[in-house]
Every structure is written in C-alpha cells, then in structure tokens.
Structure 1
C-alpha cells in the first residue's frame, strides 16, 4: 500500500510542477517564440516562412531546366 501511495505522491508532484512551469497567465501568444503584437511584421514573417517553402520546388525545377 505504501508503494502505491508513494507513486501517487510522485505523480501529483510532477504534474503540479509541470503545470506551474508552463503557466503563463492565460495571455494569448505568451508562449510563442515570436511576437504577435505587430501585425505587419507577423505577416512578413509568415510570408517569408511559408513562401520560401512553397517556392523552393519551383526554383529547383527552374535551375534544373536552365542547367546545361
């Protein structure tokens, strides 16, 4: 019985410490690695990120077709 009780106390401690470590106060965007306050900068970053991934296959095909 004491093994079960000690396992439960370890589990409760781990879940509460993880919950406290990641709690940011409920502010949207607080846990993101970039700022969402400037709308135009965010738009530019999204365009650069998604645009580079979308255009890469087309650029590779163009390079291969122009190569002699």
Structure 2
C-alpha cells in the first residue's frame, strides 16, 4: 500500500510541476522547436533535414572516389 501512495504522490507532483509555460493547450505544433505556420519555411526545413541525411552518403562516396 505504501508503494502505491509514493507512486501516486510522484505522479501528482509531476503533473502539478507542469505550469502554464509547459502546457500548450492542445495547439497543433505547440510543442515543436520550430514554427509550422509558414509552409515555405517548413518545406525548406524538411528538404534540408531529409536531404542532408540522404545526400551526405553520396557526397562522402564522391569525396572518396575523387581524392588521390
């Protein structure tokens, strides 16, 4: 019974700690580290992020083939 009380107290304390700064009220994208309001900027972020992950191996292979 004691362990249940400890877990319950921990869970309610953690819930109380998240203040209005941590809670975004269910706003889509409110917890993301970048804005999603500008679609062109978001598209550029996606292209850079995924393009770098896909393109870097090809650039490394090209570098290895070109160097003497």
Q: Give the paired residue count.
A: 66
1:46 aligns to what?
46
SS at match of 2:33: coil
User: Which ranges of 4 or more aligned residues in structure 1 deviate by more than 4 Å?
Assistant: none
Structure 1 stretches lacking a partner, 5+ long:
none
Structure with more helix by fraction? 1
Shift of 1:11: 3.0
Cα deviation digits, residues 35-62 of structure 1 (max 9, x gap): 0000000000110111011000100111
Aligned pair 1:25/2:25, yes or no?
yes
Q: Which residues in structure 2 correspond to 1:1-68 (within 5 Å)?
A: 3=2, 6-7=5-6, 10-17=9-16, 20-21=18-19, 22-68=22-68
Taking structure 1 as the reference length, the TM-score comes to 0.76
Cα distance in structure 2, aligned partners of 1:30 and 1:60: 36
CA RMSD between the two structures: 2.3
The structure whose Rg is larger is 1
Taking structure 2 as the reference length, the TM-score comes to 0.76
